[in-house]
């Protein structure tokens, strides 16, 4: 405790002057850690004091090191038992956090493992048994699998970290989180990190934390200053050619292009591959090994551009991202913030470009209202002809052509729209994501109309959604759902 007070009173500014084990200092030096960032300076002493914390901190603020450094210092490497459990929402973030712990604790002898789906359970079981880790980083689903199969014991857990808590709850992991937390000792330090603190995160903290301290890290500079945000108004039929011209003009050193669907990722990758071997792609439908290989190759600099769905938006930390390109406007406002957060990290500056087609313009203006500022338009070549008024009645021939047009995606229809409900796009997405068997990538466009809402569902999974919503509610209310 005296060491903690010393840090706070003397305002120690360098890691080499922190009361850390020399093995930790050596690792931090090799990793280039010299001075603690704001989140690290505030969080590290409080973790040493053993306080439960709720930390609101934006992506790229250095929060992983903020909890990994003091926890590595506290781990008893002589105790051959898991002492730390970190829960994360995605496989990519699981691997990233595990690697950060391994890098910081390598000279001390801290052993770590990552547990997530689409990896053989038996392989993970052997690792847990033969190389008993001090730190387990896991997605909630796979952690539950191992607990149910009695592959791991958590009786010595002293630190529980819930990372990206808001995303975890949006993805429907609440029940699994609660079940896991009930399996670990009550006498522990619980650390909750989140980019936003919605009511669900607040309720979770009230249930499972002991008098938590709240820490909020404000961005040192505003998004407009740190990340240049622009958009182009583009005709949908000319978007691919236009985006090629933008890339040729911008000449990004390293870029991520985000798409809303797996299909868009696949199609764009095929097109870009014909232009040159500078692009790789990842989405949730790919085998985990392939995704890992592609991400590692991108991190090593073998490719200049990564085309990805939002599976890569959270927790993917790649040095030197100069540009983020949104191929389309994301369906959730928060997702835009997480996407562009891949650039402009820590002390860097970056550019975020969004392509907006006419049908997305209303959603884009809603995004600007959410952000609280206007994103400047840098031009484009949108079709200026006014759209034809949609007739309320169609002939049989017109219905046949519309219903059988090439590339039409299947959808489900909710009897809730803007006129008869207050539901938003994020409400529909959050509810559908909680349906067993539905992944983020299975959900496409959400089209909210007067008294109905159409939601695209891929991979023939409409029946799963329709069956689930016979009993499942959205914001406490039951709505009728049918196949579109």
Instruction: Please list the rounded mean pLDDT of every run of 10 residues in the chain (484 residues).
Output: 54 80 91 83 92 82 88 95 94 86 94 90 92 94 94 95 85 87 94 83 85 78 67 89 89 92 89 87 81 86 90 66 92 79 76 92 86 84 41 38 50 87 80 81 81 85 89 85 87
352: nearest Cα among 335, 333, 369, 339: 339
Question: Residue 126 pairs with which residues in a beta bridge?
Answer: none
240 Cβ neighbours under 8 A, 6+ residues apart: 268, 271
If we measure between CA atoms, which residue out of 16, 135, 122, 127 comes closest to residue 79?
135
Which pLDDT belongs to residue 315?
A: 57
Report the C-alpha gap between 84 and 310 in whole angstroms: 28
- What pLDDT was estimated at residue 157? 97
CATH of domain 224-371: 3.40.50.300
Task: Supply 57's token pair.
Answer: 């901190």
Q: Is the dihedral of CA 282, 284, 290, 292 positive or negative?
A: positive
Q: Which two tokens stand for residue 419?
A: 């006129």
Q: Is 220 helix (H, G, I), strand (E, B) or coil?
A: coil
Do domains 2-216 and 224-371 share one topology? The answer is yes
Domain 2-216 top-level CATH class: alpha beta
Cα four-point dihedral sign 130, 135, 141, 145: positive
Side-chain half-sphere exposure of 137, counting CA atoms within 13 A: 24
Task: Please give the structure tokens belonging to residue 268.
Answer: 């764009």
- The secondary structure of 121-167 as a DSSP string is HHHHHHHHHHS--SEEEE-HHHHHHHHHTT----TT--EEEE-SHHH
Residue 476: DSSP 8-state: T
Reading the block at residue 95, the tokens are 């691997």
Structure tokens at 32: 């280039």
Q: What is the sign of the dihedral through the CA atoms of 363, 364, 365 and 367?
A: positive
Q: What is the number of other CB atoms lying within 10 angstroms of the CB of residue 297?
A: 13
Domain boundaries, the chain: 2-216, 224-371, 408-483
Please report the pLDDT score of residue 180 as a whole number: 94
Q: Cα(59)–Cα(473) distance, rounded to whole angstroms?
A: 31
Alpha carbons 197 and 394: distance in angstroms, whole number = 47
Consecutive H or E run containing 354 = strand 350-356
Cβ-based neighbours of 16, under 8 Å, separated by 6 or more: 25, 29, 34
Check if CATH label 3.30.70.330 holds for domain 408-483. yes
**pLDDT the model gives residue 144:** 94
Within 10 angstroms of residue 195's Cβ, the number of other Cβ atoms is 19
pTM for this model (two decimals): 0.56
At residue 67, the pLDDT reads: 96
């Amino acid at each position: 405790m005296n060491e903690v007070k010393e840090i706070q009173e003397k305002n120690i500014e360098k890691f080499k002057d922190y009361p850390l084990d020399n093995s930790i200092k050596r690792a931090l030096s090799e990793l280039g850690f010299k001075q603690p960032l704001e989140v690290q300076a505030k969080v590290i002493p409080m973790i040493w004091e053993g306080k439960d914390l709720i930390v609101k901190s934006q992506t790229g603020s250095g929060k992983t090191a903020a909890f990994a450094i003091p926890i590595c210092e506290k781990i008893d490497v002589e105790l051959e038992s898991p002492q730390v459990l970190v829960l994360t929402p995605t496989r990519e973030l699981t691997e990233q956090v595990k690697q950060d712990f391994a890098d910081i604790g390598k000279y001390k002898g801290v052993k770590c493992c990552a547990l997530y789906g689409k990896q053989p359970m038996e392989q993970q079981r052997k690792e847990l048994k033969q190389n008993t880790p001090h730190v387990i980083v896991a997605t909630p689903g796979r952690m539950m699998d191992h607990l149910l199969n009695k592959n791991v014991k958590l009786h010595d857990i002293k630190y529980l970290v819930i990372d990206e808590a808001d995303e975890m709850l949006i993805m429907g992991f609440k029940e699994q989180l609660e079940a896991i937390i009930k399996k670990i000792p009550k006498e522990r330090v619980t650390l909750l990190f989140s980019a936003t603190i919605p009511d669900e995160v607040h309720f979770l903290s009230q249930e499972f934390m002991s008098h938590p301290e709240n820490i909020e890290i404000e961005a040192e500079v505003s998004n407009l200053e740190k990340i240049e945000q622009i958009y182009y108004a583009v005709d949908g039929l000319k978007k691919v050619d236009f985006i090629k011209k933008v890339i040729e003009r911008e000449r990004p050193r390293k870029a991520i292009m985000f798409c809303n669907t797996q299909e868009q990722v696949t199609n764009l990758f095929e097109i870009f591959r014909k232009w040159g071997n500078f692009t790789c792609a990842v989405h949730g439908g790919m085998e985990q090994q392939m995704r890992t290989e592609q991400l590692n190759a991108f991190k090593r600099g073998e490719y200049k551009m990564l085309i990805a769905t939002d599976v890569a938006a959270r927790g993917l930390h790649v040095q030197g991202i100069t540009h983020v390109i949104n191929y389309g406007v994301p369906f959730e406002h928060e997702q835009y913030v997480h996407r562009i957060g891949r650039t402009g990290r820590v002390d860097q500056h970056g550019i975020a470009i969004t392509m907006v087609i006419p049908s997305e313009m209303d959603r884009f203006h809603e995004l600007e209202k959410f952000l609280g500022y206007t994103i400047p338009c840098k031009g484009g070549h949108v079709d200026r002809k006014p759209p034809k008024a949609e007739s309320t009645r169609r002939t049989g021939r017109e219905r046949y052509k519309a219903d059988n047009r090439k590339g039409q995606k299947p959808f489900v229809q909710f009897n809730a729209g803007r006129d008869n409900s207050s539901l938003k796009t994020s409400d529909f997405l959050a509810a559908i994501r909680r349906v067993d068997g539905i992944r983020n990538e299975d959900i496409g466009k959400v089209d909210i109309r007067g008294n109905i809402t159409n939601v695209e569902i891929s991979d023939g999974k409409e029946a799963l959604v329709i069956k689930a919503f016979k009993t499942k509610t959205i914001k406490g209310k039951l709505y009728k759902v049918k196949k579109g």
